[in-house]
Structure 1
Amino acid sequence: MVDELPTRPEILASWRRTQEAGLAPDSRLDPDKTEPFDEASRLRRAAAPVLDELAAALDGSRYTLILADQNALLVDIRYGRDAMRSALDEVGAVVGGRFTEAATGTNSIATALELRRGLSVHGSEHYLESFRRFACYGLPITDPATRRNAGVLDITCLEEDASELLRPFLLRGVRDIEARLLGDTRRAHRRMLAAFDAAALATSDALVGLAADLVLTNDAAAELLEPADHAALQSVALDMERMRRRTWRCAFELNSGVQLELEATVLDGGVLVRLMHGRRTAPVRRRRRVDASPDWHAPLERDLARYRAAGSSVLVHGEPGTGRRTVARRLTTEGPLERGGHGSTIELDGPSVSPNTVGDIPPGTRTVLITDADLLSEEVAALVERRVARDDLRLVLTTTATALKGHVAMLVARCPVRLELPTLRSRRDRIPGLATALLRERNAGLRLTPNALRVLASQDWPGNLRELISVIEHLADLRSTGDLTEADLPPGYRVLRRATPGAMEQAERDAIIEALRECDGNKVHAAAKLGISRTTLYKHIRMHRIDVAALRLGSDVAG
């Protein structure tokens, strides 16, 4: 009802954003659904002594201090009373919980991050009904070194305990945390500068030093690297931080096409990257090229050409937005694909295929391409299977589903080749080059800055390629020329997010699969090709759930 809506404009706007995200007011958070976080992060290090002091002042009260990082992940909670711990646990406000507006609605963490300013939320102003017994006040924490949002400090209490004194109390804590962040950054910068200078004296290779709001390059690196390369290196550094790797060695291809060997080392103050010509490293950690083409599927072309030439039946599987239809069409060699059957390939849309459609497949058809084959009805799937068997037709199918049953599963089983399309989040190192190429294609006068590319590469991209293209098209229309910074990105894409499992694991998996395929599944030969022991290869095969038998059949889906 309209008369039940909040009256403050910023709260009403937050309710509307939450409704657009599909969250219902009676939704409840699962307190057991938490995410891992870095307990030794700069934010937690800087905040710990400040929280200790503030918590001592609140001891015995019904106030709770909550620290969230820049991605709305709760990373520290200090309770004045155990009764508040029980009350907040009940509504899912626990360490490791993610408090975005899409997940938790209007509150002083999610909405303060969205608005980038302090905010109080009282009782019925909360979007979730389970939060309406509380009042809260949140203030963003700004990293003085980067001027970016580092998180939010929040104080929460029962509605009857709300006080105007919360804001100055919280403001003092935020200022102290920001001062400690600045001191930590300066120390990190000094350590990185010292390590970079020492390395620069010992080598003529291209060197890059990466720390908080600091990028160092020697002359060799400055001549080699483009903005997309800088963003790709930042992605490698984030992956190393998440995986807690101290070193990383891989092949690295620049946006310009120059091939180098990369050696990255985590230091106390950041990450030192060395780029070398003409050297080889363990290929099991090979990194795919940062593609300078707007064609996301270019790395697949060799396999696509092989499957086209062989006339293989192929299942193309991938998440929404990964380009399943595009890849399926590239697997056929005929001209325009027309539902009416002109040419030797007919394209059908799974949800709309009827028994009559199957009966109308014209004579002379050699390939049947069905998009969203998992949405075929059981009756239609059975008819297609019989028609394929009778006329010895080639199948090219696309699906998003992995668990298939009945006649649909039988139809999919006729595809010995199964091609898994990569998600954007599993190829974060390719996003900077792809975004640069897509923008250049739409507006050659605009340029994404390295920081903007780094932020784009860190996003989760649930809509994959389709979602990235929408963002780039928005940016291309902003103006005719100039640099685009992270401030120009659409709301919701401006925050640097912690990398999720992706590029490194995928690079390892890809290298092993390629070696096994080239060696026809022979593990001994594949291990020798990769330069690792058989024991190490077996461990990686188990870890990445690679089906070696499927690779012998030419399948690209493992596990």
Structure 2
Amino acid sequence: MSWSRSRVVLGDVDRPAAEYVERPPVDTVLTRAARPVLAALAAEIENEPVSLILTDATGVVLWRRSGDRGLLTTLDRVDLAPGFRYAETQVGTNGIGTALEVGVPVLVDGSQHFSGQLRSFSCAGAPVTHPITGAILGVVDLTTRAQHSNSLLLSFAKLAAARISERILEDAHELDRAVLNDYRAACQHSGRPVIAIGEEVLMINALTQQQFDAGDQMAIIEHARDARGVAKPFSTLTDLPSGTTARLSYEPTFAGDKLAGGIVRIKAQVSATTRSPLGAGRAPALRTIAGSSAVWRHTAQGVIDACKRREWLVLDGEPGVGKAALIRAVHQNVWAGHRLALLDAAELDSNELLDRAASEFDSGSDLAILHADVLHEPELVELTHVLQAAPPGPLARDPWVSLTRHPQAVDTSSLLRLFPKSISVPPLRYHLEDIPDLVRVLLDAAGATDLVLAPAALNQLMRLAWRGNVTQLRDVLEEVHRHRRSGVIEPEALPAECRATTRHNLTRMQALERDAIVDAIALHAGDKTAAAAALGMSRATIYRKIREFGIV
């Protein structure tokens, strides 16, 4: 079966090559648990002609040890070395890739390898599974020359994998205990809504449930998820779907020197009942953009107010959230007929940017400088001098200037002191309820006026994380339009990336694998066994992949 899978992917190539990828982060659940276990086991086999190897869940070699320098040199010749991916799709049947495919320990002896250059080796691979979630985190592999192969290789690999899983469980308990202790202390002493988030835990206290409705709770949880892995405390203001503004104060939790998670304390800054009645008739009517959620209306209203007052403004936000579109729509709404010049610092060289900005000022245009965060300090100083030539003021003839930046951009006081206000444009995952309106506007803009998404398809889009924000949604809809010009789009007609709900970012290879599985399932009318056969993988593997990728 493994040879069949390998032949489907690799054809009749006798010397398939492993792919080199950038080294992934080494401080993971797997590597933290494996480091002491593998060091001890490596010492036990130091005088044996064996190499002990650890890979991640995609088959990328993370770690390799052997006391046999000649063996290591030979392994280097076949790229069985740190940074190379030994998945079945790369090199065919082998102890690492095949163990990942079937999800159980395997011993691949000499001629059983698909690649001719690997047939001088024997390798035993045992998957390392997370003791709580059951997810496969990687593989422990023992590789030796084929003439030294014996059944103990597999037993030793299984033992190493089991010890790592046990260590993961111990670490998980330690990390979870640290998060739980900080959570209890925060609940007892702060008297405020509290959320605790760790690698495997999420806890919300009763005050959070009492003070915030379900929509606000989901928005707060999304913010908390964004803080996962952050090792420094911070505070941020966020507008919630109900219209409430909340301050989220994050404090990391450590177990020794290990980051266990963090505690988020929440304080409502402005009550939805005391906020100006934006939701009751003050929602801005911006023709070229869509959004009726409270968080989006609040953001748009802030830009409108600044534009009316001609107050210079900085818009922060992730790529693709619609900062430039919001500026254009607001300006058209407030100062129709007055020219707005949009200058993209990411597309213009610095001299052209400065010349264009000065020229637009001389002509009396309003100005929006996009992607200002790509400018270096000397360019920012020069831009400051240009902008100071026309200082902001209350009179209508004074220019209105806005900047857009990435939210993690470093503040530069020489420029920002000219801008009295900043507004954060929320990522799409914070106002998913706007997706139906956005879909209609984006389809119309693409010329797909006769195309409609069925309610089930819209519901599926609202389940996704949209890390690329509105730009990603636009690209998805344009892909749909390339295949259909009219009619009703059901969920199965959405691109493959929209039929999986995994929250973590996928590598290019993982995304291709996900798309292939989705397409095969659709081609075989939901028959997963037939889809697995068509892809050359086992039924157990396709079900595992479906769970990992969140395929629906």
In the superposition, the TM-score normalised over structure 1's length comes to 0.51
Equivalent residue number for residue 5 of structure 2? 10
Report the Cα offset of residue 105 of structure 1. Answer: 7.4
Report the Cα offset of residue 219 of structure 1. Answer: 0.8
Is contact 2:345-2:372 (8 Å) kept?
A: yes
What amino acid sits opposite 2:3 in the alignment?
R
Cα gap change, 1:464 to 1:76, in 2 (>3 Å): farther
Equivalent residue number for residue 250 of structure 1? 236
Return the match for 2:435 from 427, 438, 441.
438
Equivalent pairs, count:
413
Equivalent residue number for residue 236 of structure 1? 227
Is contact 2:123-2:141 (8 Å) kept?
A: yes
Q: Secondary structure at the match of 1:10?
A: helix
Separation in structure 2 between the aligned mates of residue 449 and residue 199 of structure 1, nearest angstrom = 36
Separation in structure 2 between the aligned mates of residue 132 and residue 415 of structure 1, nearest angstrom = 69
Separation in structure 1 between the aligned mates of residue 37 and residue 59 of structure 2, nearest angstrom = 20
Equivalent residue number for residue 208 of structure 1? 195
What amino acid sits opposite 2:224 in the alignment?
L
Is residue 51 of structure 1 aligned with residue 38 of structure 2? yes
Is contact 2:58-2:87 (8 Å) kept?
A: no
Q: Secondary structure at the match of 1:226?
A: helix
Separation in structure 1 between the aligned mates of residue 58 and residue 192 of structure 2, nearest angstrom = 36
Separation in structure 2 between the aligned mates of residue 393 and residue 330 of structure 1, nearest angstrom = 16
Is contact 1:206-1:218 (8 Å) kept?
A: yes
Equivalent residue number for residue 174 of structure 1? 161
What amino acid sits opposite 1:210 in the alignment?
I
Report the Cα offset of residue 221 of structure 1. Answer: 1.8
Cα gap change, 1:191 to 1:65, in 2 (>3 Å): same
Separation in structure 1 between the aligned mates of residue 182 and residue 196 of structure 2, nearest angstrom = 9
Equivalent residue number for residue 276 of structure 1? 267
Separation in structure 2 between the aligned mates of residue 141 and residue 183 of structure 1, nearest angstrom = 15
Q: Secondary structure at the match of 2:20?
A: coil
Separation in structure 1 between the aligned mates of residue 409 and residue 470 of structure 2, nearest angstrom = 10
Equivalent residue number for residue 524 of structure 1? none
What amino acid sits opposite 1:82 in the alignment?
R
Residue correspondence of structure 1 range 76-475 to structure 2 within 5 A: 76-86=63-73, 97=83, 99=85, 115=101, 117-118=103-104, 125=114, 138-157=125-144, 166-223=153-210, 224=212, 226-239=217-230, 243=231, 245=232, 247-258=233-244, 259-268=246-255, 270-278=261-269, 293=293, 299=299, 326=325, 330=329, 333=332, 419-420=403-404, 422=406, 430=427, 432-435=429-432, 437-438=434-435, 456=465, 465-467=470-472
Q: Secondary structure at the match of 2:188?
A: helix
Cα gap change, 1:125 to 1:236, in 2 (>3 Å): same
What are the Cα deviations for residues 197-228 of structure 1, in whole angstroms up to 9, with x where unaligned?
Answer: 34333342112222342222221123335234
Is contact 1:155-1:170 (8 Å) kept?
A: yes
Separation in structure 1 between the aligned mates of residue 183 and residue 33 of structure 2, nearest angstrom = 25
Cα gap change, 1:334 to 1:292, in 2 (>3 Å): closer
What are the Cα deviations for residues 329-358 of structure 1, in whole angstroms up to 9, with x where unaligned?
Answer: 5376289xxxxxxx989xxxxxxxxxxxxx
Separation in structure 2 between the aligned mates of residue 115 and residue 148 of structure 1, nearest angstrom = 13
Separation in structure 1 between the aligned mates of residue 196 and residue 317 of structure 2, nearest angstrom = 36
Q: Secondary structure at the match of 2:30?
A: helix
Separation in structure 1 between the aligned mates of residue 183 and residue 361 of structure 2, nearest angstrom = 65
What amino acid sits opposite 2:234 in the alignment?
W
- CA RMSD after TM alignment: 6.5
Report the Cα offset of residue 468 of structure 1. Answer: 5.6
Report the Cα offset of residue 174 of structure 1. Answer: 2.0
Cα gap change, 1:214 to 1:25, in 2 (>3 Å): same
Separation in structure 1 between the aligned mates of residue 121 and residue 206 of structure 2, nearest angstrom = 56
Unaligned runs of 5+ in 2: 271-290, 376-385, 389-400, 411-423, 440-453, 481-488, 508-552
Is contact 2:193-2:208 (8 Å) kept?
A: yes
Is contact 1:209-1:216 (8 Å) kept?
A: yes
Report the Cα offset of residue 194 of structure 1. Answer: 3.8
What amino acid sits opposite 1:330 in the alignment?
A
Return the match for 1:37 from 22, 26, 45.
26
Cα gap change, 1:368 to 1:82, in 2 (>3 Å): same
Separation in structure 2 between the aligned mates of residue 423 and residue 51 of structure 1, nearest angstrom = 41
Equivalent residue number for residue 273 of structure 2? none
Report the Cα offset of residue 164 of structure 1. Answer: 7.0
Q: Secondary structure at the match of 2:202?
A: strand
Separation in structure 2 between the aligned mates of residue 110 and residue 294 of structure 1, nearest angstrom = 50
What amino acid sits opposite 1:10 in the alignment?
R
Equivalent residue number for residue 361 of structure 1? none
Is contact 1:113-1:151 (8 Å) kept?
A: no
What amino acid sits opposite 1:272 in the alignment?
I
What are the Cα deviations for residues 301-354 of structure 1, in whole angstroms up to 9, with x where unaligned?
Answer: 755886799799x9x99999666884685376289xxxxxxx989xxxxxxxxx
Q: Secondary structure at the match of 2:332?
A: coil
What amino acid sits opposite 1:260 in the alignment?
R
Is contact 2:241-2:294 (8 Å) kept?
A: no
Separation in structure 1 between the aligned mates of residue 301 and residue 206 of structure 2, nearest angstrom = 36
Cα gap change, 1:297 to 1:256, in 2 (>3 Å): closer
Q: Secondary structure at the match of 1:330?
A: helix
Is contact 1:252-1:262 (8 Å) kept?
A: no
Equivalent residue number for residue 451 of structure 2? none
Report the Cα offset of residue 262 of structure 1. Answer: 1.9
Query: Which gives a bigger RCO, structure 1 or 2 (Cα 8 Å, sep 6+)?
Result: 1
What amino acid sits opposite 1:433 in the alignment?
Y
Separation in structure 1 between the aligned mates of residue 120 and residue 294 of structure 2, nearest angstrom = 51
What amino acid sits opposite 1:152 in the alignment?
V
Q: Secondary structure at the match of 2:159?
A: helix
Unaligned runs of 5+ in 1: 1-5, 17-23, 280-290, 336-342, 346-365, 404-413, 480-487, 499-559
Report the Cα offset of residue 43 of structure 1. Answer: 2.5
What amino acid sits opposite 2:237 in the alignment?
A
Separation in structure 1 between the aligned mates of residue 317 and residue 264 of structure 2, nearest angstrom = 33
Separation in structure 2 between the aligned mates of residue 102 and residue 311 of structure 1, nearest angstrom = 59
Q: Secondary structure at the match of 1:333?
A: helix
Separation in structure 2 between the aligned mates of residue 173 and residue 293 of structure 1, nearest angstrom = 52
Is contact 2:49-2:71 (8 Å) kept?
A: yes
